[in-house]
Amino acid sequence: MPRTRTLAPLFGLVLTGGASSRMGRDKATIAYHGTPQWRHVADMLRACGADPYWSCTAQQGDAWLLGDRAIVDAVPGHGPASGLHAAFSAAFSRDDDAAWLVIGCDYPWLDAYDVQRLVDARAEDVEAISYLNPGSQEIEPMIALWEPAAQQRFLQAFDRGERSARRILRTCALRLLDPPTPRALENRNADLADTVGD
Residues 133, 34: Cα–Cα separation, whole Å: 27
**Contacts for 174 with CB less than 8 Å, ≥ 6 apart:** 126, 127, 128, 129, 130, 139
pLDDT at 196: 36
Residues 72, 192: Cα–Cα separation, whole Å: 27
Q: What residues pair up with 64 in beta bridges, in sequence order?
A: none
Distances (CA, A) of 34 to 24, 45, 170: 20, 17, 36
C-alpha closest to that of 144 among 118, 164, 125:
118
- pTM score: 0.88
**Contact by Cβ (8 Å): 69, 133:** no
How many CB atoms neighbour CB 72 within 10 A?
17
**Sequential pLDDT tens for the chain (198 residues):** 444 568 899 999 999 975 554 455 678 888 888 889 999 999 999 999 999 999 999 999 999 999 999 999 888 889 899 999 999 998 665 657 899 999 999 899 999 999 999 999 999 999 999 999 988 899 999 999 999 999 999 999 999 999 999 999 999 999 999 998 878 888 865 443 333 333
8-state DSSP, 68: G
Q: Where are the beta strands (DSSP E) in the chain?
A: 10-15, 19-20, 25-26, 51-55, 70-71, 99-104, 128-132, 139-146, 174-177
pLDDT at 194: 36
Q: Does domain 10-185 have CATH number 3.90.550.10?
A: yes
pLDDT at 5: 60
Residues 151, 180: Cα–Cα separation, whole Å: 27
Distances (CA, A) of 196 to 33, 144, 184: 8, 22, 11
Determine the residue type at 132.
Answer: L
